[in-house]
Amino acid sequence: MGRIIGIDLGTTNSGISFMDGEEPKIIPNDRGNRITPSVVAFTEKGEILIGEAAKNQAVINAEGTILSVKRYMGSDHIFNLKQHGVYSPEEISSFILKKLKKDAETFLGEEVTDAVITVPAYFKENQRKATREAGRLAGLNVKRIINEPTAAALAYAYSIKGKANILVYDLGGGTFDVTYLSKENNRFTVQSSRGKSNLGGIDFDNLLLGKVLDNFSKECGIDISTDKILMQQLRDQVERAKIELTSRENALIALPFITASNKPLHLQFEITRREFEVLIEEFIGSTVELSLAAIKDAGAKPENVETLILSGGSSRIPLVRSMLSSAFKLEPEKKINPEEVVALGAAIQASMLTGEVNDIVLTDITPFSLGVEIEGGKFVKILQANTRVPARKSRVFTTISDNQRSVEINILQGESENASENTSLGRFLLSGIRDGKRGEPRIEVIFSIDADGILRVKARDIDTKVEQKITINSAFREYDEISFKEKISIKNRVTSLVNRVSALSEKFDGFLDRSFKKEIGETIRIATKAIVNENVKELSKCLIVLETLIGELNSLCYDEEAGEYEQA
């Protein structure tokens, strides 16, 4: 097996790494920096900028710049960039990954095709699939998805011998995770995880931004929140002030010449570290509570934690360190760089896959419960959250009506008692159940998950022996008896493409002839039906047709914009 790189695909910044012999090392980007801003921008000239180049022009191109795309992964969100087209979160993320891939190839002097990518431990299956899809679009074969806290622990404890109970507190730009794991020599065992997929430094920025805007509005009677250029300038100032408060007791946020009236107005706002801490204290307190809950989930106590590892840029905030030290009576490890530790761990995981490192054993857990939907729209858990993998468990169910010959198995991931509030991973139909009165037939549902996170679900009638099964992982599903591997997250992909086609066709409605409109409408109708029915074969056909339509519509978009430019 060839070289596999490690990638930390972050909300605000991303990093890449590789194994240099027995040591994981960070790969610098084309500017020599060890982390790359997770920012993508589209210029008026049609250029696509990534990283520092995108971030540096955000002030003058706020509408064409996309930040924090990681928060939208796994959703149906669409980025409508007007003349530049419509993009899904996976496509935007793929631009970031393409740049990281190119930087790695330049540094290593060889082609890079394989990668391990990290995700928050509390990412659900659809978010993990979206991450794999982004890798595929970037030309990467994603060999493994690894949880960020687990990667951080690997990076720290890789060269440390002996035993240790480790708590990894991972607070990044947009997500929070905490993982408790034990290390005994070269064996790592994840005990429990907790987290929030929408909590991080961006939320702290927004709190401070709101305070600055409110203060300026009260003092000057002007609302600048609708001015996109001013808001981007102010966001940059707020972020710098937050970072300054890590090492200073106060910081100044200033924007001169807000207005061009007879009396120019200047925005000036000074904030102390303590004032900032009051703003974010509730958020930080919730992360500490989740950390304590993770310890409890593992059947341990705070005093059992022997090593505290901080990862993610937001973990540098002094309040984080002081509240954690108070809760665990322990000082965080100071030998690691919070912004780099996850990427380094990804490189170690990559070397485990290639066999370069073969003396490490990593045992992970399922961060969410897995189960099925039953009568009344209720969710029954079969594999509980924090179950150590590999694992296998079964449960016997029965029918809800007389002479019922089939039953649908809806596989769910989540913690809510209501099935509709959890994530559906797939469905299949078990037919051929023996005749009998309600409650007589016995249907055994078996859940098994392996070390790679591949979930296999089988349902069988205990009496007739008839059975059906489904395999769910981040790369494919096999439905019933069909030996057909579904492309990564195909349902989400087709949904995204339907939304894009609808948005583009609406925008250029006046330029489409009747037959083309009819073709678009019929394709959307068929694709929507395939999405509802989760018909893998039909979804695959729709995928090709929709991508062709988008190519034609984007071409029309380009021609129309060019025509307007020539007439100007």
Spatial separation of the C-alpha atoms in residues 150 and 362, rounded to whole Å: 9
> Active-site residue 47, yes or no?
no
Provide CB contacts within 8 A for 493, sequence distance 6+.
88, 90, 133, 487, 543
Rg, the chain, Cα only: 26
Q: Which one of the listed residues 103, 133, 170, 364 is annotated catalytic?
A: 170
Cite the DSSP H helix spans in 85-146.
89-108, 125-137
Secondary structure (3-state) at 441: coil
Closest CA to 189 of 165, 219, 220: 165
Q: CA 335, 336, 337, 338 torsion: positive or negative?
A: negative
Which token pair is 245? Answer: 């408060």
Catalytic residue among 8, 114, 125, 339: 8
Residue of 103, 125, 148, 364 marked active site? 148
Q: Is residue 148 among the annotated active site residues?
A: yes
Q: Which amino acid is it at 444?
A: E
Q: Is 435 a catalytic residue?
A: no
In whole angstroms, give the CA distance from residue 494 to residue 499: 9
How many other C-beta atoms are found inside a 10 Å radius of the C-beta of residue 77? 15
Distance in angstroms (rounded) separating the CA atoms of residues 307 and 549: 54
Strand 387-388, strand 65-67: pairing = unpaired
- Cβ–Cβ < 8 Å for 357, 348: yes
- What is the distance between the alpha carbons of residues 98 and 106, in angstroms, rounded to a whole number? 12
Ordered DSSP codes for 393-431:
EEEEE--SSTT--EEEEEEEESS-SBGGGSEEEEEEEEE
Phi/psi zone of residue 160: left (φ > 0), alpha (ψ -120 to 50 degrees), beta?
Answer: beta
The residue type of 274 is R
Distance between CA atoms of 292 and 302, rounded to whole angstroms?
7
Non-local CB neighbours of 189 within 8 Å, separated by 6+ positions = 181, 182, 183, 363, 388
Active site residue 70: yes
| Tokens at 141, concatenated | 């074969």
Confirm if 96 and 40 have CB atoms less than 8 A apart: yes
Q: Which residues are catalytic?
A: 8, 70, 148, 170
